[in-house]
Amino acid sequence: MVGDKPAILGGRPVRQTPIPHGPVIGDDDVEAVVSVLRSGKLSSLSNPIVEEFEEAFAKYVGTKYAVAVNSGTAALHTALQAMGVGPGDEVVVPPYTFVATATSVLHANAIPIFADVQLSTYNLDPESFKKRVTERTKVVIPVHLFGQPADMEPIMEIARERGLMVLEDAAQAHGAEYKGRKVGKIGDAGIFSFYESKNMTTGEGGMIVTDDERIAERAKLIRQHGEPYWYYYVELGYNYRMSAMEAALGLSQLKKLDKFNEARITNASRYNRELSKIDGIIVPRAPNGVKHVYHVYAPRFLGDELGLSPSLLSKALAAEGINLRPIYPRALYLDPLFQEKRVRPRGCPYTCPYYGKEVSYNPGLCPNVELLTQQVFSLPISPALTDQDIDDVITAVNKILSWRKELSGMKFDQRSRGTQDL
């Protein structure tokens, strides 16, 4: 089939049926949710199952505390506020991530400062982070992108030297490990998302984990209107509570998380073995001592070496029934939100008198990120994939590349959106 004419040129596609994607939901998950519905106790205020989920997740990660909220974005915002981030503060973040990593800083009325990433891991480069630290820096948010842990040892060392707090964004890295510790356990706090695409899901939902009692208690207040008990309010809070149905699904999914992750790792190993044979494809690999859980399987596609642009390869594979998707198409700071500082009326937090500085997000700020946005695309990695599914993906890639000369002159309008992430 490798020598067959590509479907984009009128040939027969490799796949006639879609490759599995999305959450893996079993009868046990359904029954867990139905049981809560039948109880009539649907809120965290009436059903103790949310606390059960918090306790189980804290035990899994290895932290003393876990605070459940209604999204990964809410977890980021809540954690930053619980850490005391506010007007006049800077938070260092990578711009190769989902937008909430940076907008949560704006929601806390602070300034996101973008640092570059490593080409090998796609994660925060400790040296770039070190150069971005100023007298205003309060927190750094290393992101464990696509399930690959960031290089936490030097990040923690720099943070401790400078008196900074560390908030791990583990929204895509449930169960990932760095030198024997699960991510989320290493910094002052960590956050997770349970959006439907994640390695485990509650549909929507998020979690803050920490060993710091002060952070945990403040997070609980913030998620519940700043209300320590009925109708008594001690600080500005929000309604960020997780529902009992979500917690029930989370408890059920957590029991299967390690099994899901092992399937993802196995799938990634099969991809790596075959795709690494192709000049122009750099497959993702975990450094020694690191457990990558492959929320996204995201190789780099080097168009010049492949003889075919990644965008055209994506279009041709789509005709074969295979999704090769761009992930983050631009460095975050190049979007209008940051270029034009489209935030609050009168420009806060950028114009906040407590800040008193100018911040610029010019092209070229993070050159590695700007390169990766053009090269990194994702292939299917669901734990539901069969060996045949992966064989079909690899066959389709080789098929298209065997016709690269005939395809290289084609032009098209690439409008597909990248991976959704909340």
pLDDT, one tens digit per residue, over 373-412 is: 999 999 999 999 999 999 999 999 999 999 998 888 766 5
Euclidean distance between CA atoms 321 and 393, whole angstroms: 9
Q: List strands edge to edge, sheet with 290-291.
A: 181-182, 177-178, 290-291
pTM: 0.95
Q: Give the chain's length.
A: 422
**201-236: per-residue pLDDT in tens?**
999 999 999 999 999 999 999 999 999 999 999 999
Q: Which residues pair with 206 in a beta bridge?
A: 69, 193
> Residue 2 has what pLDDT?
62
Is residue 1 pLDDT above 70, yes or no?
no
Euclidean distance between CA atoms 324 and 116, whole angstroms: 25
Least confidently predicted of 46-55, 210-219, 309-318: 309-318
Compute the average pLDDT of residues 273-300: 96
Least confidently predicted of 159-168, 292-301, 318-327: 318-327
Share of the chain above pLDDT 70, in %: 96
> Residue 408 has what pLDDT?
81
Please give the helix or strand (H or E) that residue 131 lies within, else none: helix 126-132
- Give helix 100-107 / helix 72-82 axis angle, nearest 10°: 40
**81-96: per-residue pLDDT in tens?**
999 999 999 999 999 9
User: What phi, psi does 64 have (nearest 5°)?
Assistant: -75, -30
- The tokens for 352 are 């906040």
Compute the average pLDDT of residues 50-71: 98
Euclidean distance between CA atoms 241 and 204, whole angstroms: 11
Euclidean distance between CA atoms 278 and 123, whole angstroms: 24
Euclidean distance between CA atoms 219 and 236, whole angstroms: 11
User: What phi, psi does 360 have (nearest 5°)?
Assistant: -120, 140
Q: Which domains are assigned to the chain?
A: 7-24+257-328+371-407 (3.90.1150.10), 27-256 (3.40.640.10)
Whole-number average pLDDT of the chain: 95
> Residue 420 has what pLDDT?
43
By C-alpha distance, which of 30, 36, 29, 35 is closest to 244? Answer: 36
